[in-house]
Amino acid sequence: MGSNSGGGNGGNNGGGGTDDHGHGHAGNLAHRVPDLGALELLLAVARLGSLGAAAREVGITQPAASSRLRSMERQLGVALVDRSPRGSRLTDAGALVTDWARRVVEAAEAFDAGAQALRDRRDSRLRVAASMTIAEYLLPGWLLALRAERPDTAVSLLAGNSAAVAERLLADEADLGFVEGLTVPPGLDSVVVAHDRLVVVAAPGHPWVRRRRPLSAGELAATPLILREKGSGTRQVLDSALGGLARPLIELSSTTAVKAAAVSGAGPSVLSELAVREELTMRRLVSVPLSDVSLQRALRAVWPTGHRPTGPARDLLSLTRG
């Protein structure tokens, strides 16, 4: 009776007893429970009856397997395997621990399968939001390259102005975005993926085309232009560079519509060099030199702060910077 009482007091009062076996220290579970590799080794020994054969099955040397088994026995405080020239046989405690180990390993396999299913679901689709210029003139090439790498990933593209791209990302309606404004919208991280230049363009018959000297920033700012809507990256860059704009001659929601209006002779415009390359080559539009202001801009990939792109979004991002 005295022995039982002493054992009880030692177990209750000794810090080591409480730390090793108490149920209130969930944070120490990883120290008290053998790792999955050790449990898989024990299951292999139970199934094969040989430490050497078990070591080969799990892909380690026999000395390493023997060391791992001894370490697990010390951790649990019980002998698990009787070793003899005839092979390795589980002790009674070993048989019980093996039964528990099987359940733990099965649960880990289910966990792994579930995580893989989540990755597969994530990798099966990619939602991209991009401002108009990038969506029309850069993304098609990037997405073709992504398709070669990930043929099973379904891609959806939402095109809008830079403000709309930010809204999509922050509402978790897109996995990766691309914007062309001066600044990164609040709540987003970014990286520059390309550079672009805005150019003043007009139809061949416009008076600006016959000018002998470049247009000044003041003249451009004072002239009603065919422009994209507020919130577009193009409009933001132009407004900032000129320190303000005259009331738009026409305000349109797509680059294609702005180009068509300019080509028709409705008035001059300022557009991405990427967007008007063909029109300039075919002389449907003419570039008007600008004297004293730079309209260079950075094109950026963006994503919610702290959520670095993964899976297909990460792959697409790497392709844009290739």
Concatenated DSSP letters of 91-149:
-HHHHHHHHHHHHHHHHHHHHHHHHHHHHHHHHTEEEEEEEHHHHHHTHHHHHHHHHHH
Q: Which residues of 70-88 are buried (b: 16+ CB within 10 A; e: fewer)?
A: eebbeebeeebbeeeeeeb
Arithmetic mean of pLDDT, 158-167: 90
Confidence of residue 286 (pLDDT cuts 50, 70, 90): very high
Token pair listed for 15: 């810090």
pLDDT band at 294 (very low <50, low <70, confident <90, very high): confident
Class in CATH terms, 33-120: mainly alpha
Largest separation between any pair of C-alpha atoms in the chain: 113
- Which pLDDT score is estimated for 253? 86
Tell whether pTM > 0.85. Answer: no
**Mean of the per-residue pLDDT values for the chain?**
86
- Please report the sign of the dihedral spanned by the C-alpha atoms of residue 57, residue 59, residue 61, residue 66: negative
Q: How far is the CA of 312 from the CAs of 148, 167, 241, 273, in angstroms? A: 12, 21, 36, 29
Per-residue pLDDT band at 229 (split at 50, 70, 90)? confident
For the chain, the domains span 33-120, 127-319
Predicted local distance difference test score (pLDDT) of residue 121? 65
Phi, psi of 269 (to 5 degrees): -150, 170
Q: Which CATH code for domain 127-319?
A: 3.40.190.290
Judge contact between 241 and 295, C-beta under 8 A: yes
Question: What radius of gyration, in Å, describes the C-alpha atoms of the chain?
Answer: 34
The candidate with the shortest Cα–Cα distance to 295, out of 200, 201, 223, 219, is 200
| pLDDT for the residue numbered 123 | 61
Task: Tell me: pLDDT of 17 over 50.
Answer: no
Alpha-carbon torsion angle 88, 94, 96, 100, nearest 10: -100
Q: Would the pLDDT of 20 be above 50?
A: no
Question: Mapping DSSP to helix (H, G, I), strand (E, B) and coil, where does residue 50 land?
Answer: coil
Look at residue 11 in the predicted model and tell me its pLDDT. 42
The average pLDDT across 80-99 equals 87
The whole-angstrom distance between residue 172's C-alpha and the CA centroid of its chain comes to 12
Q: What is the pLDDT of residue 319?
A: 93
- Phi and psi at 174, nearest 5°, equal -150, 150
Q: What's residue 163's pLDDT?
A: 87
- What pLDDT does 122 receive? 59
Kindly indicate the confidence band of residue 113, based on its pLDDT and cuts at 50, 70 and 90: confident
Quick check: helix, strand or coil at residue 80? coil
Distance (Å, rounded) from C-alpha 285 to C-alpha 201? 6
Q: What pLDDT, in 10s, does the model give residues 243-262?
A: 999 999 999 988 899 999 99
Residue 20's H or E segment, with its range, is helix 15-21
pLDDT tens-digit profile of 137-154?
999 999 999 999 989 888
